[in-house]
Every structure is written in C-alpha cells, then in structure tokens.
Structure 1
C-alpha cells in the first residue's frame, strides 16, 4: 500500500475516534442526565457549548492547519480533544460538563480541516472523492460502533469509564501518525491537465473543468474574487441548511426512540444500523461521483449530479416519525442518513476541487462553520420545543432542507 493511502488509513482511524468521543455523551445521556440532574433544555445547552467551540475552532483551526501543515496540526488537535474527552469523565455538574464539552469541540473540529488539506495535496481530482469518502467513513464507523462500545464500557463500572477509555485511545493513535508521517515527507507533484480552450463553462466544458478543478502543485488559474466568494457562501449555506439532519441523528435520535418509541437505553444500541447506512453513503457518494468524472463528466457537474439524487431522497425524513413501527422508523432513518452522507462527501470534495490548496484548510474551516451554526440552531429549537410539541415538527422541518440547499448551491456555481 502506498504512503498516501496509509495516511488516509490513519485519517480514517482519527475520524473513528473523533466520532466515538463525540457520541459518548449522546449515548449515555439518560444516565448522565439523571446522575447530574439535567433537564432536556440543559442537555441541549451542553450540546450547544460543544457546537459553539466547534464553530470557533473551524474558523481558527483552518488557518492554523495551513500554517503548520497536516502532520503537526492533526497531532495537536487529537492530543487536545483526547485529553478533553478524558476530563469529561470527571464532570460532576452541569457547569463542568459544559466546560469539558466546550474543550472537546475546540479540538475535534481540527480533524475536518486537516484531512481535506492532506487529500488536496496528495490526490488527483478523480481520486479525491474516494479518499474523502474513506476518511469520512471513519466518522460513520465510529458512530456505528459507538452505541455497543460505549454501553459496554459504561457497564464495566460507571459511565465515566467510557470517557477515560476512549480518550486514552486517541493518545495511542499519535504513535503511528508521527512514525509513518515523518516530518521530512512531502507530497509528490500532481501533473495538471492542459489549459482549457477559451469560452467554455466549468459546468459544461469537459476540458476546462478538468484543468481548473484538478489538484495543482503550483498556483491555480485566478478568478474574480466575487465569483469565488459566491461559491464559498453557497457551500457555507449548503452546510448550514443540511448538516442539522446529521447533528439531529447523532444527538437526538436515540433520545427520540426512548421518549416516543418506548425503547430502553440498552435497546437504543440498535441505532448502530443507522450509522452503518451512513458508512455506505460515505463510500458510495465519493465512488459514484468519481465514476461519473472518469467517464467524462465535468468534475463539478459530477458532484452535483450525485448531490441532486441525495437531495431527492431526504424528504423521506418526515416518514421516520410517521412510521407505525420502530423497524420502519429505523429503515427510513437509514435511507436519509445514507443520502445525507453521500451528499456531504460530494459537498466537501467540491471545496477541494474549487479552492487553491494553500488556502484550502482556511476556506474549508469557514464553510464547515456553517455546519455548526446549523447544528446550534437545530439544538436550540429542538431543546425548547420537544417538550411542548414532541419531535414531529423537527422531522418535518428537516425533510426539505437538502433540496433548498441544492438550489442555492447550483445558483452560486452557475454565477461563477
């Protein structure tokens, strides 16, 4: 296996740890809420502390990653969030739990600004979708194994054990990362295709699309700042509108199954099947757009084609709450989670396609900040309304957001 794929493998493992650490609180929420005397609005507030820090970190960590490079940056981030996760096990009040989750958010966002920068430096356009899909698969694998793993760790003594063990695993990850990705390593140059002929659109001209959007070892062809700004805003709004679905599945879906479907905390381990579906979305989304590009479709058009298909599946979100059975609700949740993950992979890959690599982590952090802002809004709305209206309005509201985001993103790219 080549070095670059070995690095993607380590990014995959980092993403597994990232999501196991993140999911620990959601899985143990009923127990922790009872132990610390927390209400649902207070639980939402704890999640928002995490997301506020996550947003701040996206804005800062991208610039820091561009300055330090992927090797040093990711070692710093994973060390920080692993220690913060272990400290969470020491929480004995709402204040301390909120503080430690804030620290976790400061560290965890760096994983998602470092990984795409590494991919942009080491992979060509036709391989980027698969590479991003593979390390993002780590997130969904982490979310898949988290329910049974966390419940088992908590059952060995107290819920604090789960935080101690998962945090320690992150520190162990540093050993292969620093050994394999040595400080004197740099990516091999990636050959750019010939320059495009004049007058061809990046959405319709195959030659221009490939030249403009493939990885570049040097400075890319410049374009108007306004055009690039519109693309960044479009990508940011797309994340803001659509990622609340993913945050809801992570933080609230297990609680929904307990509150309205009558499952016990042990029974919610069945949610692993939802995250298993996300695994297939992570790989399938990147693979499918890569196939379209290899067959001659312009790069941006290939990504958008897959995103449109995904957007057409997400209205099934409303059927989760309308299904008469738990199995039916799980089946619809699996479908929309798969679709969302494939959507997100292609949206993330668009950033690596369109942004110069020397600015990639900074721009990716800015775009991803839209994701956490959407999560903050979702948490606030759900935390304050679920007691009065139940979960149904939330599922209905989430069902149409991807189609709206696709329309906005398409408009931004066409103007470009």
Structure 2
C-alpha cells in the first residue's frame, strides 16, 4: 500500500460505519414487529393480557442479557466478520419463526384457523393464550440470542476502524439505526400486517415478521463483500490507516494488555472498576429505552385509544422517534470538546453524559401534560429517547477508550447483559403493574387505573440516568487505561 505524507486519505471507514447503521436498523425493525402488532392483531387472536405480553418481552430481555455476556466473547473469539454474520443470521431466522407461532398454536390446541381462535370462549381461551405465549417465547429466545451479537460486534468494528476521538460520533451514527428502525417500523409494520390480512394471507401479522426478518439475509450478502480488516483492506490507503491508528503511541506508552501478548478472560474483566462502570451505567438506563420501545404503541392505544395501524398512532410514533434522531449530535459533542479543550476522551464523555442525564427528568411531566394533549408525552418521550441514544453512544465508547481492542466486545457484552437484566425487570413489572392497576383501579398522584401505572414507570425512567452517571463517576473518577497486573 503506497502512501506519501501529503496523500489524501480515503474514507472507507464510513462505508463500514454505514453497514453497521444498516445492521442496527434491521435489528430494531425485527424487535419492533411484535410491539406494533400484538395489541391490535395478535392479542385478539390469542387472548393475551398485558401480563402475557410483558412476560414475552421480559423473557426476550433476560435471554438477551445472558446472551450478551457470551456474545461479546464469541465475537472476540470468532472475529468480527464471521461473528457478525452468525449473529445476524441467527436473529433473522428467529424473526421469521414468529410467523409460524399461530400455526403451531392451532396444531397444538386442535383449532383449524385463526378465526376460530378469535371466537373461542371459556377455558379454551386460557389454553390458547398459554400455548401461544410459549411458542412466541421460543421464537423470541432465538431472536434475542442473535441480536445480542449486534452491539458487541459493531463496537469492535468501531474500535478497529476509528480513532478514539471519533468513536462516539461513529457510534452515534450507527446507533441512529435504532432510531431509523423505530421510525420506519410504525409506518410499515402495521400497514404490512393490515395489507396481508385484507388479502387473506393468515391474520396479516405473520407476513410482517417474514418480510422484515428477510432484510437480515440481504445484509449478510453485502457484509461478506464490504468488511475486511483495515490492514488488509485494498480500498483503504496508508493515510487513512495512519489516521485510524493514531492512538497507538499512547497505548504503547500505557502498555495495554494486547501489547503484552495476553488477553483478558471473561472473568478477569469483572475485576476492573471500568467494567462495572459500564455494566452499572447500562443497568440503570437501558431498561428505560426498552420500555419506551416495547410499550409506546400500547401506551398510545391504552391511554388515547388509537390502534397501531391508524394514521394518528403511526404519526405519533414516527414523530417520537424522529425527535430521537437528535442523538447524532450527542455523539459528535465529545469530539468537539476534545478538539477544543484537549480533555481526555473519558473526561469529555462524562461531561457530555451528565448533560444528557438531565433531559430524561422531563418524563416526570409527560403524564400530567398528557391531560392537555397527547402530543406533550410524545414529544417528551422523544426527547428522553434522544438523550438515551446520546448517552448510549458515549457509554459504548467509554469501553473502547479504556480497554484494548481484544477485550472491547467482551466488555460491551457484559454491559449488554446488565442492560438486558434491566429491561427484563422493567418489562415484566410493567405488564403485571398495568393489569393490577386496571383491575383494582389503582390511584397515584391523581391518576387512576392504567394511567397511574404508566405514571409510576415514567417517574422511575426520569431519574435513572442521573443515578447511573453518579455510579459511574464514583467507580471511575478519572480516565485510566487497563494494564496487565
């Protein structure tokens, strides 16, 4: 590879970042199909309650959590290219398998078609509900195992293709795929389900899972041709490679683990405060995003009466996630601070993360202001979502700042496990809380029934980020690269 000091560097790293963006978009589309179809398409067919849906999403979250612990290690062991292919292949299969849960339930219960299940009464409805929930949980487990590999693999690619000062920005760009997926989902998934329902292909929701799930196989075909290790990439010149590796001198002086010829084991990672800072920061905050992701369509339906395939509901969800697109600037902000002040990456990120921890406090006012217009909670949830995505982009980069590239995916996997546990708790508790609040007409701060339940969860979401920031700051007050003991 030829190079001179005045050679203009190529920009192949941004094409790779674009592939990470595409993968994350597909990732979030696949997990959103259920949340956008269960209330209006699936629940009537299988007689689900909020607790049933909460259980399914909770199992997804806890399996995702456990799988994250091993997914990061798997990616570090197998390598970025093959590891990513395996991850997206498994989750795409899992996404498509959801479509067969209705057929499997009919075969098990002995009912001939979806209409007969909808019209069922008495004890049969409980059998249908329980049976279908188990089948959906099985499909959801496969989906969660595959999806657990996305962020460890993507962060590892970012550490390979970007210097530290650019990692939060590149992470914010590919992490915006979550928002784009969430934007596309409400205008496409219910519409797909309704279209296939009207032309008589199943009950509609089945084909929505298959069409969206198939996008992952398209990504796999492209990834094989796009990804190469930077040192072996013939489309990247020496100037770009030098730019990517600009942190190497600092790392050599700090004698990071990979320069010693050793690698951290999974359990050794738990010995470092830096690992716990990432894990607890994710635990305190990831559940908030997953709650908004899985329950926002149900919130709009339960509180304001708009079905997921109505133009109003689709527009509300679209606007909500459009607002979260502001998170791209949250990833750019640390780079600006580093360039202007010379702060180390960790100090700049913690400063930025404190700022973003303040915005979710607005969620305290979402439900009260919702009495005046449903637009107020939608806008507030959107702002909180943007703050979360900005926070998330920076917390991912904290791991790549302080750990060698050989251990980044493992640490991100540990953080993902902690975030998944958080999501499990908030989802299963929300389902039971909403059913209980409706049954006893619970009152809280002037709200009654299910609205009271939502207000309780909103209050918890509001303070989660400040708590997470304080924990991280106590554990790791200052920037410190991991060294061999």
Give the structure-2-normalised TM-score.
Answer: 0.78
1:147 to 163, 182, 186: 186
SS at match of 1:191: coil
SS at match of 2:101: coil
Tell me what 1:271 maps to.
317
SS at match of 2:178: helix
Q: Where has structure 1 moved over 6 Å in runs of 4 or more?
A: 220-223, 225-228
CA contact (8 A) 2:278 2:395 kept: yes
Tell me what 1:202 maps to.
none
Tell me what 2:75 maps to.
65
Tell me what 2:43 maps to.
33
Quote the Cα distance in structure 2 between the aligned partners of 1:238 and 1:220.
30
Q: CA deviation at 1:268?
A: 2.2
Quote the Cα distance in structure 1 between the aligned partners of 2:162 and 2:284.
29
Q: CA deviation at 1:264?
A: 2.3
2:457 to 368, 391, 394: 394
Tell me what 2:361 maps to.
315
Structure 1: unaligned runs, 5 residues or longer: 197-209
Instruction: Select the structure of larger CA radius of gyration.
Output: 2
1:326-362 CA distances to partner (integer Å, 9 max, x unpaired)?
0111111111111111111111111111111111111
1:162-218 CA distances to partner (integer Å, 9 max, x unpaired)?
10101111111111110122589647461336559xxxxxxxxxxxxx9769x9984
Tell me what 2:343 maps to.
297
CA contact (8 A) 2:269 2:275 kept: no
Quote the Cα distance in structure 1 between the aligned partners of 2:31 and 2:253.
39
Q: CA deviation at 1:2?
A: 2.7
Tell me what 1:245 maps to.
288
Tell me what 1:117 maps to.
156
SS at match of 1:91: helix
Quote the Cα distance in structure 2 between the aligned partners of 1:357 and 1:341.
23
SS at match of 1:358: coil
Structure 1 range deviating more: 227-236 or 12-21 = 227-236
The yes-or-no answer on 1:163 pairing with 2:234 is no
2:374 to 322, 326, 329: 326
Tell me what 1:381 maps to.
429
- Residues 245 and 211 (structure 1), Cα distance of their counterparts in 2 relative to 1, 3 Å cut: farther
2:277 to 203, 222, 234: 234
CA contact (8 A) 1:53 1:103 kept: no
Tell me what 2:201 maps to.
none
Structure 2: unaligned runs, 5 residues or longer: 1-9, 103-131, 197-203, 234-240, 443-449, 481-485
Q: CA deviation at 1:231?
A: 1.7
Structure 1 range deviating more: 30-39 or 367-376 = 30-39
Q: CA deviation at 1:262?
A: 2.3
Give the structure-1-normalised TM-score.
Answer: 0.90
1:250-282 CA distances to partner (integer Å, 9 max, x unpaired)?
01121111111222222321212121222221x
Tell me what 1:200 maps to.
none
The yes-or-no answer on 1:287 pairing with 2:287 is no
Tell me what 2:414 maps to.
366
The yes-or-no answer on 1:408 pairing with 2:464 is no
SS at match of 1:67: helix
SS at match of 2:247: coil
- Residues 226 and 46 (structure 1), Cα distance of their counterparts in 2 relative to 1, 3 Å cut: closer
2:299 to 256, 260, 264: 256
1:356-402 CA distances to partner (integer Å, 9 max, x unpaired)?
11111111101111100100110121111112143111111211111
Q: CA deviation at 1:58?
A: 0.4
1:55-104 CA distances to partner (integer Å, 9 max, x unpaired)?
12101111110011111011111111111111101112221111101110
1:235-257 CA distances to partner (integer Å, 9 max, x unpaired)?
21111111111011101121111
Structure 1 range deviating more: 383-392 or 231-240 = 383-392
- Residues 370 and 220 (structure 1), Cα distance of their counterparts in 2 relative to 1, 3 Å cut: farther
Structure 1 range deviating more: 226-235 or 405-414 = 226-235
SS at match of 2:48: coil
Tell me what 2:399 maps to.
351
The yes-or-no answer on 1:306 pairing with 2:352 is yes
- Residues 130 and 184 (structure 1), Cα distance of their counterparts in 2 relative to 1, 3 Å cut: closer
CA contact (8 A) 1:216 1:357 kept: no
Aligned length: 400
Quote the Cα distance in structure 2 between the aligned partners of 1:73 and 1:331.
38
1:94-123 CA distances to partner (integer Å, 9 max, x unpaired)?
211111011100101101110000111121
CA contact (8 A) 1:65 1:361 kept: yes
SS at match of 1:297: coil
Give the alignment's Cα RMSD to 1 decimal: 2.5
Tell me what 1:76 maps to.
86
Quote the Cα distance in structure 2 between the aligned partners of 1:44 and 1:383.
4
